[in-house]
Structure 1
Amino acid sequence: MIDGKMKTTAYWITTILGAGLLFIGGLLFITHGEHQVAEMNHLGYPVYFLIFLGIGRILGSIAIVIPRFPRLKEWAYAGFVFDLVGASASHAFVGDSLFQIASPLIFLVLIVVSWVLRPPSRKFKVQ
């Protein structure tokens, strides 16, 4: 069993890594990074989707890291699940390699572990 301090440390490591990397990706999306535009074209999506995905990733990352707002955090975690599962499926549907299909799922693991380990103060309580 994981003790409290180790759980808190693991929570913050996965949260900072997951949210931080998605935040950086969001910035690259909204600035139309060369690689991101090429990926959208390769996957068959319009380039303007990068703006929506980028804003979602940036806002979701902020929501997960800031204190309070547990309902907003739940939506942010859910949004990341949809985003990353969709990204993985998109790579599978165009016949990309197993590495390209699995890459978004690595980020998904970080996000899910962050969600599982979040402290009670960051959980939404149904009333």
Structure 2
Amino acid sequence: MKKDKIIYWLSTALVTVGMLLSAYQYFNGTYMAEAYKQMGYPDFLRVEIGIAKIIGAIVLLLPVLPSKIKEWAYAGFGILFFSAALTHFLLKDPTERIITPLVFLMLLIVSNIYYSKVSTKNK
């Protein structure tokens, strides 16, 4: 059980730190605004995704929230990571831009698997 908790918290922490740092860049970096423009996405989408990343990270970190809410955060991040990888692939971006969201997707899957194990054992 201790191993499961360590894997859960480590994978969750990596995802949430990544999302919070990413959200910071979404709001404070002119690079992200320019990147969204080059990809053909409206600027308001960058703001919405930045806000969603912050909310999702908080939801994953707070152990007191119901599992149904956490499931929505997991689903949202899963869609986000897949969409990011697909966008970078279709734009023929460098390989690291395609792989990075897929790495976060794998971490998210690990977090979700171990969240299920840890939450089931706590009942």
Q: TM-score interval w.r.t. the shorter chain?
A: 0.7 to 0.9
Partner of 1:54: 50
Aligned equivalents of 2:71, 2:121: Cα separation in 1? 9
Partner of 1:18: 15
* Alignment gaps of 5+ in structure 2: none
More helix by share: 2
Aligned equivalents of 1:109, 1:122: Cα separation in 2? 23
Aligned equivalents of 2:104, 2:46: Cα separation in 1? 18
Runs of 4 or more consecutive aligned structure 1 residues displaced over 6 Å after TM superposition? none
Aligned equivalents of 2:121, 2:13: Cα separation in 1? 15
Aligned pairs for 1:1-127 (under 5 A) are: 4-29=1-26, 31-67=27-63, 68-118=65-115, 119-120=118-119
CA RMSD of superposed structures (Å): 1.8
* Alignment gaps of 5+ in structure 1: none
Asked if the contact 1:70–1:122 (Cα under 8 Å) also holds between the matched residues in 2, the reply is no
Can you list the C-alpha shifts for 1:71-91, whole angstroms capped at 9, x where unaligned? 110000000001110011111
> Identity, % of aligned pairs?
29
Query: How many residue pairs end up in the alignment?
Result: 119
TM normalised by structure 2 equals 0.88
TM normalised by structure 1 equals 0.85
Moved more, 86-95 or 38-47: 38-47
Aligned equivalents of 1:27, 1:98: Cα separation in 2? 23
